[in-house]
């Protein structure tokens, strides 16, 4: 449920509109391909998570099996991406609340939700898990009901005649922008699946990780496939794809548009509540993950040691507080670019997610080569099809990252991401040089 809560957020409820505009009805194939990539990534990550259950997860694995630079860059990139995502979700939550309270300034909602979720995370991992479980449950129940009601509407059960499936081939056909459009939509689509890796981050605090982590990963991916593909089938079937989104700006959820066309009493308010809880759930999950990543950096010596301390409840409070920095950054972006802020924030956060997934596959290749020669016991969880499926997932992700350059509004993915890697590399060189100097001065003469 935590993984589902991390994955189902504005990527689905808002970002899907951009994916539909880019691919048309073929967005269904895009979501299926995204599911395949997520499944491959989960297979590689679960194998390593069971072998090394730790709070740093893929950042620690990159350091162990690639290099210290890799561990440094992966963890800081993921931390920064999650921080930006937290701010983006908080801004979206404020926009949703203005539906009911237009006179309340957005910054007040951001502060209020931030205090509530920081408090929930500070109380301990058990409180976080309970909080996130019920948040995720609301989203899951809403999507199931959305799919069920949409299925009834598309047939002749509740509407005579039924809406039918004409929208899948009308308005330019199933592939109105060809296979190119389907592929270019993958940037928006894969963003909906990013967040599933959070299960591996929780492995360090999970009971019996050898059993529960692979089970959670497998069941979560299967459910996401059903939710995402089912939701897209209903969305495309009920609303003509060229009416879902008119431009690069994201002003409303396409799911709200569906309920408006259905003329269900109070449906707009109900759906607005659902997307609000979705934003808060993702914000809560991102805050948890970014906190653990900063904690891992501090424990690894890559950040001030004070950030690696925990409270009596076992919570890294200082790492939690510094991980809220993205709230302020994203709020400024939203104030400067109110109509396109979400797309810009999505693009920046997408680079971090794609880079980490790419590094998961690269690390998995090195992990497998190192495991057997070092005389380790047989792996309790093994990814089938190694190394070909690992290489396939790696190639697909690299292709998606490169293709964002040709997607409207998505150039910040590379424009911000590549300089960020360069800046981090300089930071790592400074850290490594300082670390060597400290070791030399501490050695006895």
The whole-angstrom separation of Cα 309 and Cα 303 is: 12
State the pLDDT at residue 367.
92
Residues 6+ apart with CB under 8 A from 315: 121, 122, 123, 124, 125
Please return the burial class of 429, using the count of CB atoms within 10 Å of its CB with bins 0-12, 13-18 and 19+. Answer: exposed
DSSP secondary structure letter of residue 24: G
State the pLDDT at residue 444.
53
Cβ distance 6 to 286 under 8 Å?
yes
The whole-angstrom separation of Cα 239 and Cα 259 is: 10
The whole-angstrom separation of Cα 367 and Cα 119 is: 37
The whole-angstrom separation of Cα 106 and Cα 302 is: 35
Q: In 212-251, where do the E strands start and end?
A: none
State the pLDDT at residue 125.
66
The whole-angstrom separation of Cα 284 and Cα 195 is: 12
DSSP secondary structure letter of residue 87: H
State the pLDDT at residue 297.
79
Residues 6+ apart with CB under 8 A from 13: 253, 255, 274, 275, 278, 279
DSSP secondary structure letter of residue 313: T
State the pLDDT at residue 374.
62
State the pLDDT at residue 285.
79
State the pLDDT at residue 393.
95
DSSP 371-383: HTTTTPPPPSS--
State the pLDDT at residue 365.
94
Helix, strand, coil percentages (3-state) for the chain, rounded to 5, are 75, 0, 25
Burial readout 260-276 (b: 16 or more C-beta within 10 A, e: otherwise): eeeeeeebeeebbbbbb
For residue 364, the tally of other CB atoms under 10 A from its CB is 28
Residues 6+ apart with CB under 8 A from 243: 257
From first to last of its 445 residues, the chain has per-residue pLDDT tens of 666 766 777 778 777 888 888 999 999 999 999 989 988 998 888 888 888 777 667 888 998 999 989 988 988 888 888 888 887 787 778 777 877 888 887 778 877 888 887 887 777 666 667 777 787 888 888 888 888 888 887 776 655 555 667 888 888 889 999 999 999 999 989 988 887 777 666 665 666 767 777 777 777 777 888 888 888 988 888 888 887 765 555 556 777 777 776 676 677 788 888 888 888 888 887 888 788 878 877 887 788 888 888 877 777 888 888 888 877 776 677 667 666 666 777 788 889 889 999 999 999 999 988 876 665 667 777 888 889 999 999 999 999 999 999 987 788 888 888 898 898 889 888 888 877 776 666 555 4
The whole-angstrom separation of Cα 10 and Cα 115 is: 21
In degrees, to the nearest 5, what angle opens at C-alpha 163 toward C-alphas 159 and 164?
A: 125
The distance from CA 238 to its chain's CA centroid, rounded to whole angstroms, is: 27
The whole-angstrom separation of Cα 280 and Cα 268 is: 18
């Amino acid at each position: 449920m935590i993984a589902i809560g991390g994955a189902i957020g504005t990527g689905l409820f808002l970002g899907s509109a951009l994916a539909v505009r880019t691919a048309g009805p073929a967005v269904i194939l895009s979501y299926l391909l995204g599911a395949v990539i997520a499944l491959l990534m989960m297979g590689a990550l679960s194998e390593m998570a069971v072998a090394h259950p730790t709070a740093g997860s893929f950042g620690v694995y990159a350091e162990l099996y690639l290099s210290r630079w890799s561990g440094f860059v992966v963890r800081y990139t993921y931390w920064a991406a999650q921080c930006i995502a937290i701010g983006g979700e908080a801004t979206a939550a404020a926009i949703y609340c203005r539906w009911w309270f237009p006179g309340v300034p957005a910054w007040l909602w951001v502060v209020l939700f931030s205090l509530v979720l920081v408090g929930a995370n500070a109380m301990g991992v058990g409180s976080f898990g309970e909080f996130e479980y019920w948040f995720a449950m609301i989203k899951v129940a809403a999507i199931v009901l959305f799919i069920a009601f949409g299925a009834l509407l598309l047939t002749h059960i509740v509407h005579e005649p039924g809406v039918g499936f004409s929208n899948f081939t009308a308005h330019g056909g199933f592939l109105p922008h060809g296979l190119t459009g389907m592929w270019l939509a993958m940037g928006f689509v894969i963003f909906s699946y990013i967040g599933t890796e959070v299960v591996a981050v929780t492995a360090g605090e999970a009971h019996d990780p050898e059993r529960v982590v692979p089970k959670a990963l497998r069941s979560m991916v299967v459910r996401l496939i059903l939710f995402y593909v089912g939701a897209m089938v209903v969305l495309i079937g009920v609303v003509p794809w060229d009416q879902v989104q008119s431009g690069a700006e994201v002003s409303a959820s396409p799911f709200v548009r569906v309920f408006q066309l259905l003329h269900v009493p109070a449906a707009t308010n109900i759906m607005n509540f659902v997307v609000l809880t979705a934003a808060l759930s993702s914000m809560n999950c991102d805050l948890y993950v970014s906190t653990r990543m900063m904690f891992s950096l501090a424990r690894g010596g890559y950040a001030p040691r004070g950030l690696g301390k925990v409270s009596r409840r076992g919570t890294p409070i200082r790492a939690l507080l510094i991980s809220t920095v993205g709230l302020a950054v994203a709020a400024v972006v939203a104030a400067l670019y109110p109509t396109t802020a979400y797309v810009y924030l999505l693009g920046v956060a997408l680079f971090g997610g794609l880079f980490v997934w790419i590094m998961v596959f690269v690390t998995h290749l090195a992990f497998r080569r190192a495991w057997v020669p070092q005389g380790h016991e047989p792996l309790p969880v093994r990814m089938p099809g190694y190394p070909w499926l690992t290489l396939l997932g790696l190639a697909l992700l690299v292709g998606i990252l490169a293709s964002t350059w040709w997607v409207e509004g998505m150039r910040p993915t590379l424009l911000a991401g590549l300089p960020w890697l360069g800046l981090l590399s300089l930071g790592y060189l400074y850290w490594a040089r300082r670390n060597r100097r400290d070791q030399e001065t501490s050695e006895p003469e």
